[in-house]
A and B are shown apart, each in its own frame.
Chain A
């Protein structure tokens, strides 16, 4: 079985991030730039290895590097030189397969992911085919694979924030509370310059290193390490913006158009935006405060009103992930037939039943009665030939979802655990100083 034409199901659970990038590594610049015509994986590139929906790993590729996955060890040299998006497959040796089997026996319910079995007649020599995909990092995939240092902002929220703050490639954005840097990546992709602040020193260092490895640090553009200032646009500072404000040494005037505050007490930081060197003065500017609790929202609104912000609106985003699944079509008539079949068998006894069945089939062939043909096909394919049971739903057998021998309908399944509340988003606008341009 090659896997082509079958229906693949990947089950989603909570992601488990694993990071294999060493601190001192400096991968090639431009990992997040998707617009080069050349689409080839090179040595020292930062890539995301897609193992399963819940297991996406960031890896820097080296000539001698190795990557251990549940499908075996992949050499980095196998990946280098391939196109992005390539599948890299491997036949697992029998040892790994057997280990996998033992594992499967333990967790019978757990389905295998992304794995397609290669069926050979010889059980001992069975080879399994496992594969990974090599992908170019995008902020969205990074959000799924990044190491969590704090609670992160997921794509449903971040996309709405980007749109609602009207962030375009001209906007200068302030983000307070870098956190794990998930949102920073998404902002950085779209905005002009991103000023991000983190008051936790270790987290700031980790984030800074990450931005540097991803080629997003503005300092690297100034130092001439990269020449695309649309990409290298993050300026990160270690700062408690509530106490010390937003002004920084690197630039005189931040001229921000949008502010995103993901802080425990955004109302303490809001007055600091009034410094004329922080926000763009003669323009409509926008703010978004991200707080999980209602009490925080209330205090935030109070501070916004006090500081002259208008059009205040709080919203909540609810995003849902679904996956396409298959549901077996079970006809009630088939169930009746199964019961009739069982009853007949019980009344006649097993050996008589087989004879009876044979005679009946012959009779039907002679008379050319075909109305049972559909069932007979199922009989042949599904049931164990020695015991000709009518088994239309594959009872007692391991039926793979979407198995072509059965009839299926398309259904949609919501993820088993949903995020019912992430945070309240409070938006507001303000024009600091209305002057007329001639």
Chain B
């Protein structure tokens, strides 16, 4: 059975790894050995073929004697462990089980607990380091720490659990592999504190933007993306879901770029092939769209650049040299750009995330959208949207149902008996404006009867 790259880990793909401390990191299975820092390292070929969402434990051979340890000390960093999937666990959670606790006595309250600082732990730091170097399994290590902690028995069960979770996050050698979906990518960026890069957008805001834009597999969408490709990847996922060769789907995305070459570096994590992206995504710069050339001008420019070479002759050739082909490609691209800039009332939605002045922008590019189609604008702040709404959209009868929306998601700690909202959450997920482009009917054309 071949590996299905959408549901299973396969070679040469970006993957997201969730670590025991709940941080998300991006790796590529192209690298032979994936190093997770203090959580260990493993061969990427060991995880290929398993479904996304699987939790793996890294297992090392245990070295009992100090001698062996010393010999290997120099090499140790480079010896990856074996990644073993947790096959019996359907939940695939990174959390610790209660096994260790069952052997231990716990106190009913913490009234006997006195803070004695680090002196209560009989194991010294060196001892723990030694145990780690001997590649002791995390659960053994933790129970060792517990049995040497004089206070552990005096803690309540809840606080023992908390203590264990802390130790577990520190010492356990396991990880969970997730697909590089937009949702997981967002978590990765959140952990990296890099939300500025994607305009501070939250999952609920991008979700709402996609729904309001009515993204369908066969649609053609006009997009401005200030998020480095995150928005485009999200749209692509809704349209194609990772499958590139589906003949029933042929939607495209046209991106208006600020610079000559688009800056969509997050799109590389999407795992779509370059050919597919080339076929599905069209780039057009602001200049090419709003200050288009005409065909004659392009032909003249072609003649000037290529020393009186006739494009028609070149096009008529059946076999072209690579250089000729490049010239033909250039010409065809210019022609397609002219076509895009001349095709009004075409796109099925206008999806905007941009720093430009919105009034001006919407005024210039809303003509490319099919009447009756949605225009959805995301902005980090409310005021630019308010300005767009009040100073342009609501004074112009070509726009209907202007709404400003905000959505936020409140996560809860979800443990039975301890359910409560999390103490901190992301506060700014951005604002959205949605409206529908319509055709205004000139009042004078209406029959007064």
A→B interface (CB under 8 Å): 2-9, 33-35, 37, 39, 50, 53, 83-91, 118, 127, 129, 131, 133-136, 138-140, 155-156, 158-160, 162-164, 166, 168-171, 186, 189-190, 192, 228-230, 282-284, 294, 297-298, 301-302, 305, 308-326, 402, 410-412, 424, 426, 429-432, 434, 436-438
Q: Within the complex, what minimum Cβ distance (angstroms) separates B397 from chain A?
A: 6
Instruction: Collect the chain A residues with CB atoms within 8 Å of residue B203's CB.
Output: 160, 163-164
Complex Cα–Cα for A87 and B400 (A) = 10
Establish whether residues B53 and A169, one from each chain, have CB atoms under 8 Å apart when the complex forms. no
Q: Within the complex, what minimum Cβ distance (angstroms) separates A302 from chain B?
A: 6
Instruction: Collect the chain A residues with CB atoms within 8 Å of residue B396's CB.
Output: 4
Instruction: Collect the chain B residues with CB atoms within 8 Å of residue A83's CB.
Output: 345, 371-372, 439
Instruction: Collect the chain B residues with CB atoms within 8 Å of residue A412's CB.
Output: 382, 386, 404
Q: Within the complex, what minimum Cβ distance (angstroms) separates B9 from chain A?
A: 9
Complex Cα–Cα for A71 and B217 (A) = 38
- B234, closest chain A residue (CB): A163
Instruction: Collect the chain B residues with CB atoms within 8 Å of residue A3's CB.
Output: 397, 443
Instruction: Collect the chain B residues with CB atoms within 8 Å of residue A321's CB.
Output: 403-405
Complex Cα–Cα for A438 and B50 (A) = 9
Interface residues of B, dominant DSSP: loop
- A326, closest chain B residue (CB): B390
Taking A322-B403, A429-B53 as contacts, is the C-beta distance between A162 and B211 under 8 angstroms?
yes
Complex Cα–Cα for A229 and B240 (A) = 14
Establish whether residues B241 and A168, one from each chain, have CB atoms under 8 Å apart when the complex forms. yes
Establish whether residues B210 and A163, one from each chain, have CB atoms under 8 Å apart when the complex forms. yes
Instruction: Collect the chain B residues with CB atoms within 8 Å of residue A311's CB.
Output: 91-93
Question: C-beta contact mask, B164-207 vs A, less than 8 Å → 1, else 0?
Answer: 00000000000000000101000000000000000000011011
Complex Cα–Cα for A232 and B258 (A) = 39
Instruction: Collect the chain B residues with CB atoms within 8 Å of residue A129's CB.
Output: 443, 446
Establish whether residues A35 and B220, one from each chain, have CB atoms under 8 Å apart when the complex forms. yes
Q: Within the complex, what minimum Cβ distance (angstroms) separates A375 from chain B?
A: 26
Q: Is B387 an interface residue (CB 8 A)?
A: yes
Establish whether residues A87 and B438, one from each chain, have CB atoms under 8 Å apart when the complex forms. yes
Q: Is B153 an interface residue (CB 8 A)?
A: no
Instruction: Collect the chain B residues with CB atoms within 8 Å of residue A431's CB.
Output: 51, 53-54, 90, 92
A4, A34, A88, A169: the one contacting B238 at CB < 8 Å is A169
**Chain B interface bracket (under 10, 10 to 19, 20 to 34, 35 or more):** 35 or more
Establish whether residues A436 and B216, one from each chain, have CB atoms under 8 Å apart when the complex forms. no
Complex Cα–Cα for A163 and B446 (A) = 45
Give the most central of A155, A162, A190, A410: most B CB within 10 Å.
A190
**Quick one: which of B284-304 are within 8 Å of A by CB?**
none
Instruction: Collect the chain A residues with CB atoms within 8 Å of residue B351's CB.
Output: none
Selected A-B contacts with CB under 8 Å, 25 pairs: A4-B397, A8-B395, A39-B370, A83-B371, A87-B441, A89-B446, A135-B438, A140-B211, A160-B208, A163-B204, A164-B183, A169-B241, A228-B248, A284-B7, A316-B421, A317-B204, A317-B410, A318-B410, A319-B208, A319-B405, A320-B405, A322-B404, A412-B382, A434-B87, A437-B8
Establish whether residues A317 and B407, one from each chain, have CB atoms under 8 Å apart when the complex forms. yes
Establish whether residues A323 and B211, one from each chain, have CB atoms under 8 Å apart when the complex forms. no
Establish whether residues B414 and A313, one from each chain, have CB atoms under 8 Å apart when the complex forms. yes
Instruction: Collect the chain B residues with CB atoms within 8 Å of residue A6's CB.
Output: 395
Q: Is B212 an interface residue (CB 8 A)?
A: yes
Complex Cα–Cα for A91 and B445 (A) = 11
A-B contact count (CB 8 A): 288
Q: A282-B7, A311-B92 are in contact. List 13 more A-B contacts (CB 8 A).
A: A34-B214, A91-B449, A129-B446, A160-B204, A164-B207, A169-B240, A169-B246, A283-B53, A301-B414, A311-B93, A315-B412, A317-B204, A412-B386
Instruction: Collect the chain B residues with CB atoms within 8 Å of residue A140's CB.
Output: 211-212, 214
Instruction: Collect the chain A residues with CB atoms within 8 Å of residue B443's CB.
Output: 2-3, 89, 118, 129
Establish whether residues A7 and B394, one from each chain, have CB atoms under 8 Å apart when the complex forms. yes
Q: Within the complex, what minimum Cβ distance (angstroms) separates B358 from chain A?
A: 13
Instruction: Collect the chain B residues with CB atoms within 8 Å of residue A282's CB.
Output: 7, 51
Instruction: Collect the chain A residues with CB atoms within 8 Å of residue B242's CB.
Output: 168, 170
Q: Within the complex, what minimum Cβ distance (angstroms) separates A13 from chain B?
A: 15
Give the most central of B87, B217, B243: most A CB within 10 Å.
B217
Instruction: Collect the chain A residues with CB atoms within 8 Å of residue B414's CB.
Output: 301, 312-314, 426
Q: Is B80 an interface residue (CB 8 A)?
A: no
Instruction: Collect the chain B residues with CB atoms within 8 Å of residue A164's CB.
Output: 183, 203, 207
- A50, closest chain B residue (CB): B400
Instruction: Collect the chain B residues with CB atoms within 8 Å of residue A434's CB.
Output: 50-51, 54, 85-87
Complex Cα–Cα for A171 and B220 (A) = 21
Complex Cα–Cα for A424 and B409 (A) = 11
Complex Cα–Cα for A297 and B3 (A) = 37
A39, A163, A170, A192: the one contacting B372 at CB < 8 Å is A39
Taking A155-B212, A312-B414, A315-B411 as contacts, is the C-beta distance between A323 and B402 under 8 angstroms?
yes
Complex Cα–Cα for A305 and B414 (A) = 11
Establish whether residues A156 and B208, one from each chain, have CB atoms under 8 Å apart when the complex forms. yes
- A171, closest chain B residue (CB): B241
Instruction: Collect the chain A residues with CB atoms within 8 Å of residue B269's CB.
Output: none
Establish whether residues A315 and B240, one from each chain, have CB atoms under 8 Å apart when the complex forms. no
Complex Cα–Cα for A50 and B387 (A) = 25
- B374, closest chain A residue (CB): A138
Q: Within the complex, what minimum Cβ distance (angstroms) separates B243 from chain A?
A: 6
Give the most central of B181, B220, B448: most A CB within 10 Å.
B448
- A91, closest chain B residue (CB): B448
Complex Cα–Cα for A187 and B316 (A) = 48
Establish whether residues A87 and B87, one from each chain, have CB atoms under 8 Å apart when the complex forms. no
- B54, closest chain A residue (CB): A434
Taking A160-B407, A170-B242 as contacts, is the C-beta distance between A189 and B439 under 8 angstroms?
no
Establish whether residues A318 and B407, one from each chain, have CB atoms under 8 Å apart when the complex forms. yes
Q: Is B261 an interface residue (CB 8 A)?
A: no
Establish whether residues A34 and B371, one from each chain, have CB atoms under 8 Å apart when the complex forms. no
Establish whether residues A7 and B220, one from each chain, have CB atoms under 8 Å apart when the complex forms. no
- A304, closest chain B residue (CB): B91
Instruction: Collect the chain A residues with CB atoms within 8 Å of residue B416's CB.
Output: 298, 301-302, 305
- B401, closest chain A residue (CB): A53
Give the most central of B51, B249, B382, B412: most A CB within 10 Å.
B51
Q: Within the complex, what minimum Cβ distance (angstroms) separates A304 from chain B?
A: 9
Q: Is B305 an interface residue (CB 8 A)?
A: no
Q: Is B107 an interface residue (CB 8 A)?
A: no
Q: Within the complex, what minimum Cβ distance (angstroms) separates B127 from chain A?
A: 34
Complex Cα–Cα for A160 and B409 (A) = 9
Complex Cα–Cα for A6 and B449 (A) = 25
Q: Is B124 an interface residue (CB 8 A)?
A: no
Establish whether residues A230 and B407, one from each chain, have CB atoms under 8 Å apart when the complex forms. no
Instruction: Collect the chain A residues with CB atoms within 8 Å of residue B92's CB.
Output: 284, 310-311, 429-431
Q: Within the complex, what minimum Cβ distance (angstroms) separates B204 from chain A?
A: 5
Taking A85-B437, A431-B53, A436-B49 as contacts, is the C-beta distance between A318 and B408 under 8 angstroms?
yes
Instruction: Collect the chain B residues with CB atoms within 8 Å of residue A7's CB.
Output: 390, 394-395
Complex Cα–Cα for A4 and B345 (A) = 22
Q: Is B348 an interface residue (CB 8 A)?
A: yes
- B10, closest chain A residue (CB): A437
Instruction: Collect the chain B residues with CB atoms within 8 Å of residue A438's CB.
Output: 1-3, 49
Q: Is B133 an interface residue (CB 8 A)?
A: no
Complex Cα–Cα for A163 and B241 (A) = 12
Instruction: Collect the chain A residues with CB atoms within 8 Å of residue B371's CB.
Output: 39, 83-86
Complex Cα–Cα for A89 and B442 (A) = 9
Instruction: Collect the chain B residues with CB atoms within 8 Å of residue A163's CB.
Output: 183, 203-204, 206-207, 210
Complex Cα–Cα for A228 and B250 (A) = 13
Instruction: Collect the chain A residues with CB atoms within 8 Å of residue B219's CB.
Output: 34-35
Establish whether residues B441 and A89, one from each chain, have CB atoms under 8 Å apart when the complex forms. yes
B216, B389, B407, B419: the one contacting A298 at CB < 8 Å is B419
Establish whether residues B91 and A284, one from each chain, have CB atoms under 8 Å apart when the complex forms. no
Establish whether residues B403 and A410, one from each chain, have CB atoms under 8 Å apart when the complex forms. no
Establish whether residues A284 and B410, one from each chain, have CB atoms under 8 Å apart when the complex forms. no
